[in-house]
Amino acid sequence: MVNVTIRSAAFPNCYLRLDGRGITKFNNSGSGHVNCQSYVGPYETLQLDKHPDGTLGICSATFEKIYLRLDAKGFTKSSGKGGGVVNCQFGSSDDEKFRLVDQPDGSKAIASVKWPGVYLRMDGSTGPLAGNDNGLGLVNAELSVGPWEKFIINDVTTPLTRAEIEAAIQKFGPILKIHPNEIYKPCSIEWYLTHCTLIDANTGAKIAQPTANQLPQGPGGDKRYSFDVLPAAKPGNLSTAKAYVHVFWEQGMTVTDLQFWIFSAYNGPATAHVVGLAFDKPVHNGDPDLAPLGEHWADWEYVTLRIDNKTKDLIGIGLSQHGTGHWSTSVEIPTTFKFQSTHAIVYASLNGHANYPSPGPNYMQYHKFPKPLAIPAGLEFSLHNDTADGGDTLDCSKSYQVVSADFLDGTSDAYPVVPWVKYRYRWGPEGTAIHMSPDEVSEIVKAGFGDFADVVPGEAVLKLVGAILPFFIKSDINGAFAPIVQATWLGRY
């Protein structure tokens, strides 16, 4: 049988997942766990066991004799949330038989044979960013075919070769647009290390201007190693900057992800948009600099290009945005991104370097205080990530280095080992948390009221400061951890 993936048509980054761990015998009620996953790995690699009567079983390619099971007993009326039980079974019987039903849009519905009019349903509304090793979302049954009952079934393909990787980078590598007012620009790792001293907290040993070969390759996850960084490194050095490409593919994947990691020596302060309210009506607004909130050494951001292994087309773009991210599918890409030839243009936000598909304020984290409004004065605020044209650019199709493609190791296509990639510790200092004072937070409040600040009762200002202080009290300017220890490195977007 050919290995396949079964992907939701409604949630393009959600794949059917069969977890058959520990199942060794038939159980009348089934066992194991079936849900979704945001990437393709062993649990998402499946097979279609075709029967002479035209029906089929859906079985795991990883767990021997483990089949998809659908039990719709008692499920006669839908609430719009599906019903029944979908899990695994050891071996195949009536509950494990299905038919594929062609849909007008080219997708397939998966119909139960034992339970006529019942279809497999996949709810991936938790989103692709919620992926984890135990899967996500919900798989159950439905009594009709709607968007969540439609699937795309693809044969598993081989990964890209080295020549195909290079061709894809040169054809689709993004163009990064840096804000014209940016003072903390990208740089190369080599340049950054010339401004660092590597510190071993256990022994006290120090290495000034360490080379990549001198960086420890230990397990990471603790505070043993960190960098003391010269202030002169903060502006970065764009002339040395490049995109560090990690090529991600696992057995069973029909796509290959090109992760373009961009390094900046320093992440600048956040900016807020603040609106002062009098009896819940806006009276003034301002955009105060929140320094030192948001500042930290060593910033890693990424742009992921998803390449179809068979067609070699660009079918997805993922952007890092402050610990989360935004994903655009092949359908969304043409209306979401501007292009320079075949290269998507990506905008890096001022100071924070989060990536966006267009210029603008890119607001996030909206809050309103107090809630409910219990005093004459109130405040709305949100953080914004300004992006704009007119600044420097980094063409990642030309300035790049492939630093990791694990699936090619041991082959003639293997890339050279890059020692700093496996440095799993801090890329900046340790123990450098800072605190904002109530007086500093008071200035944020006043920015929201402008000239009205003098007439706002002092008691109201104090209450507002007390309400929003927890959001601004502390900033951790320790260096970021290496990409290799981040979930994104393993395709967990």
Report the alpha-carbon distance of residue 24 to residue 89 in Å, rounded: 9
User: What are the tokens at 348?
Assistant: 């890096």
pLDDT at residue 461 in the model? 59
pLDDT at residue 423 in the model? 93
Query: Dihedral through CA 312, CA 315, CA 317, CA 318, nearest 10?
Result: -100
Q: Identify residue 160 by its one-letter amino acid code.
A: L
Question: Residue 136: how many CA atoms within 13 Å on its side-chain side?
Answer: 20
Q: Which domains does the chain have, with CATH numbers?
A: 3-155 (2.80.10.50), 162-490 (no CATH)
Q: Which residue has the tokens 């790792």?
A: 189
Answer whether the bond into residue 359 is a cis peptide, omega within 30°.
Answer: no
Cross-strand partners of 271: 289, 384
Task: Identify whether the C-beta of residue 468 lies closer than 8 Å to the C-beta of residue 424.
Answer: no
Report the alpha-carbon distance of residue 355 to residue 294 in Å, rounded: 16
Task: Identify whether the C-beta of residue 37 lies closer than 8 Å to the C-beta of residue 14.
Answer: yes
Task: Identify whether the C-beta of residue 183 lies closer than 8 Å to the C-beta of residue 176.
Answer: no
Report the alpha-carbon distance of residue 480 to residue 472 in Å, rounded: 20
User: What are the tokens at 332?
Assistant: 């969304």
Per-residue tens of pLDDT for the chain, all 493 residues: 789 999 999 988 899 999 999 999 999 999 999 999 988 888 999 999 999 999 999 999 999 999 999 999 999 999 889 999 999 999 999 999 999 999 999 999 999 999 999 999 999 887 655 556 788 899 999 999 999 999 999 888 788 999 999 999 999 999 999 999 999 999 999 999 999 999 999 999 999 999 999 999 878 778 899 999 999 999 999 999 999 999 999 877 889 999 999 999 999 887 877 787 777 788 777 777 776 777 889 999 999 999 999 999 999 999 998 767 789 999 999 999 999 999 999 999 999 999 999 999 988 777 777 655 445 677 787 788 899 999 999 999 999 999 999 999 989 999 999 999 999 998 998 877 666 666 666 777 777 777 665 655 555 555 666 666 566 655 566 777 789 988 889 888 7
- The residues, any chain, with a CB within 8 Å of residue 489's CB and separated by 6 or more, are 246, 248, 259, 483
Task: Identify whether the C-beta of residue 248 lies closer than 8 Å to the C-beta of residue 38.
Answer: no
The model's pTM: 0.74
pLDDT at residue 178 in the model? 98
Torsions phi, psi of 110, nearest 5? -110, 105
pLDDT at residue 440 in the model? 67
